[in-house]
Chain A
């Protein structure tokens, strides 16, 4: 791989990678079982540079911001490279957000350029807030000929001849602005520098290297920190190949493992559990003698790989299972949400190690990762090289808030100095997660101290963002909390729940009409954002001079007065 110490920015390292690995395949794009595109590093460069030149001609300058709203595909990475080539700042937005949310984040980030897929652009154009868009240049991919684009350009036509000027950036210049939360209340734009990414790439590839010939299946959204690093920057600086499958249908995902002989894949726990379910069902269908043989092989593999993985041995013992995954899979990478140890153990016993880690957008990609020496299903691994972690105010069991210091920690939150000061204290990022180090130096997570829940799909849900749905609820005041914020649970996972705190009017009681009102509003939320219970609080909420609820104080008061069991289920 390229020596990252020599570089000050992502644009420069990617530029050299395109030359160094020019004849290697860097991208494969498939529509279900049909391969649509295969690019070498040289082909990639040939497509990206005319785009960079056109951006340059359109006065897209150093430090200008460009947003991308796209599903995983080749044009995502090509556009990102062109943006970095011009010295721009990339704003990767979550394509799963609504059009209104996209418009809000485009405004918040002050993006000058937007690269967007046609179907997503059409939704944005139809939004009642469309007139508020201030983005000057919009490039729409895959628009049908003659489609109405409201002044946007077709991405495929937006190119100019001639060499663009490469714009060098320094390590502390901004590379990306990544939004770590929903948009209801306060967009959290994490400002990440080129150094943040170069350091993250260096530490991750030190433990999990890529090389020419490695094929990474890109399934997690590329706007997500994990896929951006292990599905773009990491493979590219090592000359590896990224496979984009333009569907997440399980039958085609399974087929892609075999067709492209995938080496690594990153998955959210929900998909991993789904894979586990499918495999267990297949195992259950086996005739008794075959099942007994399989169980023996699994037990043998577990015994022989208890100290470290042994890929060759596992592939020999469990040939058919490995063939089902293409035969070359080295690891399944996961993180971002709680995963049951039984699931990671299940795959490890099959000789398919699940590399579980822990990270947050504010800290680049990952702070800890399992190094598989040996595999541990019950931890999120050890701090990556260059990452310092400490446990603040540990209790008698050693559990306290995890704080991190590393060159991968973001510079600040965009336009939010107050939140930045609360989050990065004397150089330490306060993660809001409760953890403890066990005797081998592995981090174990126990719960969350902050007012947030994470779904199995890896989404961060902030209760404040959901409160607007309850606007006008006929009570004196109300607030929504993550139950773990009020009663820190020393356990991650299914106990994460949202609770509605009700302060009633004088002489008001919780009656069926109020409960029906709450339930109706609740139904307007996707299931993972629904409030699961309520509590009646009989004092006015403490508020700041500007009338904002003092959330932490209120949570402390509630936590002292009530047990978690007092929550009334809805």
Chain B
């Protein structure tokens, strides 16, 4: 199983590629809405990409209130 740090790094890389943001501009504690400049629908798109990458299911309702990459990584890690 990958470490949380590795999961986090993969999330940041995937988000950077998908939303065309320089990887070095993203930090684990960033609010992904702000750092990526995305709205709630685009966030769902990101979650689907992450689910496909990590082969997990992330229910929308469990992610209510989650807005930073680190917490998102914790949620994914718990399912790996």
Q: Does A250 sit within 8 A of B, measured CB to CB?
A: yes
Say yes or no: B34 contacts A247, CB within 8 Å. Answer: no
Contacts of B57 in A (CB 8 A): 32
Say yes or no: A71 contacts B41, CB within 8 Å. Answer: no
Bound-state Cα–Cα, A96 to B66, Å: 10
Least CB separation from A69: chain B residue: B64
Bound-state Cα–Cα, A523 to B36, Å: 11
Q: Does B37 sit within 8 A of A, measured CB to CB?
A: yes
Which among A32, A95, A270, A523 is the interface contact of B64 at CB below 8 angstroms? A95
Least CB separation from B62: chain A residue: A119
Q: Does A198 sit within 8 A of B, measured CB to CB?
A: no
Least CB separation from A273: chain B residue: B41
Known pairs A249-B44, A527-B34; A270 contacts B61 (CB<8 A): no
Bound-state Cα–Cα, A526 to B33, Å: 7
Which among A98, A246, A525 is the interface contact of B59 at CB below 8 angstroms? A246
Say yes or no: B41 contacts A271, CB within 8 Å. Answer: yes
Say yes or no: B39 contacts A96, CB within 8 Å. Answer: no
Q: Does B48 sit within 8 A of A, measured CB to CB?
A: yes
Say yes or no: A246 contacts B60, CB within 8 Å. Answer: yes
Contacts of A274 in B (CB 8 A): 41
Contacts of B2 in A (CB 8 A): none
Bound-state Cα–Cα, A525 to B33, Å: 10
Say yes or no: A527 contacts B61, CB within 8 Å. Answer: no
- How many chain B residues touch the partner (CB < 8 A)? 17
Q: Does A120 sit within 8 A of B, measured CB to CB?
A: yes
Least CB separation from A251: chain B residue: B48
Say yes or no: B64 contacts A248, CB within 8 Å. Answer: no
Least CB separation from A525: chain B residue: B34
Contacts of B60 in A (CB 8 A): 71, 246-249
Q: Does A524 sit within 8 A of B, measured CB to CB?
A: yes
Bound-state Cα–Cα, A274 to B61, Å: 21
Would you give the 0/1 interface string for A337-352, flagging 1 where the beta carbon is closer than 8 Å to chain B?
A: 0000000000000000
Say yes or no: A270 contacts B65, CB within 8 Å. Answer: no
Q: Does B3 sit within 8 A of A, measured CB to CB?
A: no
Bound-state Cα–Cα, A529 to B33, Å: 12
Nearest CB on A from B75, distance (A): 10
Chain A interface: which size bin? 20 to 34
Known pairs A457-B39, A527-B34; A99 contacts B61 (CB<8 A): no
Q: List B1-53 residues whose CB lies under 8 Å from chain A.
A: 33-34, 37, 39-41, 44, 47-48
Q: Which of B34, B40, B62, B65 has the most CB of A within 10 A?
A: B65
Known pairs A248-B44, A249-B48; A120 contacts B39 (CB<8 A): no
Q: Does A123 sit within 8 A of B, measured CB to CB?
A: yes
Known pairs A249-B48, A270-B39; A98 contacts B34 (CB<8 A): no
Say yes or no: A457 contacts B37, CB within 8 Å. Answer: no
Bound-state Cα–Cα, A250 to B37, Å: 20
Would you give the 0/1 interface string for A79-117, flagging 1 where the beta carbon is closer than 8 Å to chain B?
A: 000000000000000011011000000000000000001
Q: List A31-58 residues whose CB lies under 8 Å from chain B.
A: 31-32
Contacts of A524 in B (CB 8 A): 34
Contacts of B41 in A (CB 8 A): 248, 250, 270-271, 274
Bound-state Cα–Cα, A117 to B62, Å: 9
Contacts of B63 in A (CB 8 A): 119
Say yes or no: A120 contacts B40, CB within 8 Å. Answer: no
Bound-state Cα–Cα, A248 to B44, Å: 8
Least CB separation from B35: chain A residue: A523
Known pairs A31-B59, A249-B60, A250-B44; A527 contacts B65 (CB<8 A): no
Bound-state Cα–Cα, A120 to B60, Å: 12
Bound-state Cα–Cα, A512 to B57, Å: 46
Bound-state Cα–Cα, A457 to B41, Å: 10
Least CB separation from B38: chain A residue: A527
Say yes or no: B40 contacts A457, CB within 8 Å. Answer: yes
Least CB separation from A95: chain B residue: B64
Bound-state Cα–Cα, A274 to B48, Å: 16
Which among A32, A98, A251, A527 is the interface contact of B37 at CB below 8 angstroms? A527
Nearest CB on A from B8, distance (A): 20
Q: List B50-80 residues whose CB lies under 8 Å from chain A.
A: 57, 59-65
Contacts of B62 in A (CB 8 A): 119
Contacts of A457 in B (CB 8 A): 39-40
Contacts of B48 in A (CB 8 A): 249, 251
Nearest CB on A from B32, distance (A): 11
Which residues of B are at the interface with A, using a C-beta cutoff of 8 A? 33-34, 37, 39-41, 44, 47-48, 57, 59-65
* With A123-B65, A270-B41, A527-B39 already in contact, 17 other A-B pairs whose C-beta atoms are closer than 8 Å: A32-B57, A71-B60, A71-B61, A73-B61, A117-B61, A119-B62, A120-B64, A246-B60, A247-B59, A247-B60, A248-B44, A249-B47, A249-B60, A270-B39, A524-B34, A525-B34, A527-B33
Instruction: State the 7 A-B residue pairs at the shortest beta-carbon distance, nearest first.
Output: A71-B61, A123-B65, A247-B60, A119-B62, A249-B44, A526-B33, A95-B64
Which residues of A are at the interface with B, using a C-beta cutoff of 8 A? 31-32, 71, 73, 95-96, 98-99, 117, 119-120, 123, 246-251, 270-271, 274, 457, 523-528
Between-chain CB contacts (< 8 Å), 13 pairs: A31-B59, A71-B60, A71-B61, A95-B64, A96-B64, A119-B64, A120-B64, A248-B40, A249-B60, A271-B41, A457-B40, A525-B34, A527-B33
